Chains A and B, each alone.
Chain A
Amino acid sequence: MTETAAWWSLLAAPALLLAGAVLAVAGDALLAARDAGRPTTVRTALRPLLEVPRLLAAQPRRLPAADRLLWRLGVVSVPVAAVLSALVIPFGGTAVADLSVGVVWFNAMEVVTWGGLWLAGWGPNAAFSLIGGYRFVAQGLAYELPLMFALLSAATAAESLRVGDIAQAQHGLWFAVWMPVAFAVYLAGVLAFSFLGPFRHPAGEDIAAGVLGETSGVDRLLLEAGRWLWLTSGAAMAVPLFLGGGSGPGLPGWAWSSLKTLAVLAVLVWVLRRMPVVRADRYVEFAWVVLVPLTLVQVLVPALLVLGR
């Protein structure tokens, strides 16, 4: 049974999430260095962390007629939502808050980034930034429904919205094994709400980094941190939802949780540079014509199993 952890876990959970995000950034830097023909050393992996002092030293941007309040609000809400989403994820056998509607909480936090990123695009009063914000809304319309059906598949099979119960319900046979479609769609959804890799259309190079394009200094640091925190949080959530949570032979629960999270994170980071950016207008079509029916059928499988029990 998953238990609610002591008060200090409220500090430990964000720290763990941040550590995961740093590892993801380091892994991405190593892959980038290999592609570019640079040596792949520890130093290479850590160089992106120079961004933190660099951005702290940089001037924030002031633009005429910018909507500064909403802009700031949007920028801040992305990393904050990522951290809040992680509160329901069990680490081994403990979660900061094992809510009875944990899956809904996670999903709700993810939808907060919709608003946040849209505001971040709207705020600077610049065309490319605004187009980036709208692109995220279009992308959201495409990935959100399949993602929700994927979450529902796991919840239905476990007959609970409590994340800990879902991890418990897998008794050795991971949901990823007999619900591969839901698992794959969930992983694509993680990339989509982190707006990284093939789903960075809202921050695409073709519109000069879109929602990120007008941000500098701390604003940019928050948005960049937000996307990697989301990637880590999404990877960590995949473990209780589809990979049996902290259960495993030999090692304690927290070790299994970390190992599985890092494995999922590694897969996601590897994909980042290996695919072109999926244009939202094309993905919407694919999502609604192919993914929605597919995930609906996927939900039907555990639903029928549960009814037949």
Chain B
Amino acid sequence: MDLTALPLRAAAARPHVLLVSTPGGTATRLAAERQLRLQDLPRARTPAEADILLVAGPECRGLRPAIDRLWQSLPAPRSRACADTPGALPEVLARCRAELAASPGRQHAGHRHENPVGGGPDAEFGDGRDEHDGDDEDSGGGHGGHGGHGGHGDSESPWGLPMAGQGEDRDGLLLDQLHVPLGPFLADWPDALTARLTLQGDVVQRLEVEWPPVGGGVGPPFWGEPWARAIAGERVDAGEGARRRAAAHADSLGRLLAVAGWTGAATTARRLRDDLLDGASSAELRPGVRRFARRVGRSRTLHWLTRGAGVLTAGAAQDAGMTGPAARADGDVPARYRTWLAALVRDVDRLADRSPLDPAEEGPRGGGAPDGPWPSAALVRVLPGLLEGAELAAARLVVASLDPDPDELAAVSGEVGAGD
């Protein structure tokens, strides 16, 4: 018998899943997160840790190279699948696990890894500025950057990797500059968004944000869907809007708490989100939501660790065209998560509201005006100003506390072709 058969079966019994979602894939992502949680399939945070690459959402041409690079850096045995609808998930996961169990194992796959990340970075993501790239699940130049065999880059650099350049930091010291892309895929990051950082040490010196152009065919954003229907003239209950908004806030809180490393609270937030989307009633949810809001809102530790990060005054937010909770919060990261918590508690009381949803009512990320742009565009617009000068951990917290929605960004780029 093959000695590797047993370990392979073990890998198939509890594979780590690298879950990435494409614009328009929010519903599938939520279903996948829920399924992984209930089946105890750990989520991988990097390709190195993963056995299965699961893409949730419709095919997106702009993201294909990044997904391919992620796939190239998964160690064998491995399996890959796409699920474009929530319904496809169980079957897709079962197939992946069967594939893992029957995989030929490392001996056969060994030679492939000699060239770990395939060809050089493609023109879109790897523009030669990615050196030492971050490489986690990021992609960007991520794995691609490592794999810059040939292709571009000057011939003097070792392994085709560009060397770190130098530049003056804020204190006038000459320090190495690293160019590290965050995204388009990174654990607990708005998928498909790419932030190109120039780092000195772990301090962000400069930042450019971009997202891939999405062809048509992406419907209204999942979180804004009741509003889109109300605008189209359909009768939508205000309770449905409140439920969707509460779930969106719970989703955002889950992501922020995960970035802050509070595993227990992040799991609670995601369970509340799933319960909300399952249609649980106000009475069922109220005690849990209150307890969660109290625990997180009053946590001194969380406040101590996040305070002073990403201060955004109401005036500056208005100038950038922001309208939602992030603008109302008028302050730093704790101000923003407390605004979410307050809105969550308020909305959970309104789930049974049968009055019609006013399209002008605030959506999960603001907006709500029938012809206004999707509010996430404004959230992205303020990022460079907030992140420059921040330490990397603080920068991640700030992005998570604004939590721009990839679906909305895709809708924006679909409308005005803004995303390149």
Contact = CB atoms under 8 A, between A and B. Distances in A.
Nearest to A219: B48
Contacts of B149: 64
B261 A277 contact: yes
Contact of A206 (B14, B259, B302): B259
Interface residues of A, number: 60
Interface in A57-82: 57-65
Given A36-B267, A63-B116, A275-B301, A209 B178 contact: no
A213 B392 contact: no
A195 B138 CA distance: 23
A58 B11 contact: yes
Chain B contact-residue range equals 35 or more
A32 B199 CA distance: 35
A59 to B, nearest CB: 4
Contact of A56 (B7, B75, B393): B7
B17 interface: no
Interface string A265-282: 000000011111111011
B264 A35 contact: yes
Nearest to A43: B40
B393 A279 contact: yes
B344 interface: no
**Among B134, B178, B299, B397, which residue has the most Cβ atoms of chain A within 10 A?**
B134
Secondary structure at the A interface, as helix, strand, loop or mixed, is: helix
A217 to B, nearest CB: 6
B106 A58 contact: yes
Contacts of A212: 49
A62 B158 contact: no
Contacts of B264: 31, 35, 273-274
B261 A127 contact: no
Contacts of A134: 201-202
B261 A206 contact: yes
A59 B7 contact: no
A50 B10 contact: yes
A31 B40 CA distance: 12
Contacts of B268: 35
27 contacts: A35-B264, A36-B40, A36-B267, A47-B13, A50-B10, A51-B14, A57-B77, A59-B75, A59-B110, A63-B116, A126-B136, A127-B180, A128-B134, A131-B392, A205-B45, A205-B258, A205-B259, A206-B396, A207-B134, A208-B137, A208-B187, A213-B46, A273-B264, A275-B301, A277-B261, A277-B305, A281-B393
List the 8 closest pairs (A to B, CB-CB), nearest first: A277-B261, A208-B136, A57-B7, A53-B10, A53-B7, A276-B262, A59-B75, A273-B264
